[in-house]
């Protein structure tokens, strides 16, 4: 028994590949505008800095809360 067809599977793979091109949920709108206008998509050269900034913010928040007695449960 198949859950999805081969065409649906291929569409899913294509969408995943397209998402990897965007690489940042905050630039989806810009990507779609470029796509609609037929312009080439150029990923922001600072996209890796954005990721590192987010990771640092999360680490700082965790440290702040841990220092105040909160515990984090990880599965």
> Quick one: pLDDT at residue 32?
94
* CB-side neighbour CA atoms (13 Å) of 46: 5
pLDDT at 17: 92
What are 27-69's pLDDT values in tens digits? 899 999 999 999 999 888 877 788 888 899 999 999 999 999 9
Say how many Å lie between the first and final Cα of the chain, rounded. Answer: 32
User: For residue 46, what pLDDT is reported?
Assistant: 78
User: The pTM is what?
Assistant: 0.58
């Amino acid at each position: 028994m198949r859950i999805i067809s081969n065409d649906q599977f291929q569409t899913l793979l294509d969408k995943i590949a397209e998402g990897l091109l965007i690489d940042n949920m905050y630039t989806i709108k810009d990507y779609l505008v470029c796509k609609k206008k037929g312009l080439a998509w150029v990923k922001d050269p600072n996209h890796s800095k954005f990721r590192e900034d987010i990771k640092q913010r999360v680490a700082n928040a965790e440290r702040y809360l841990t220092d105040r007695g909160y515990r984090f449960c990880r599965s």
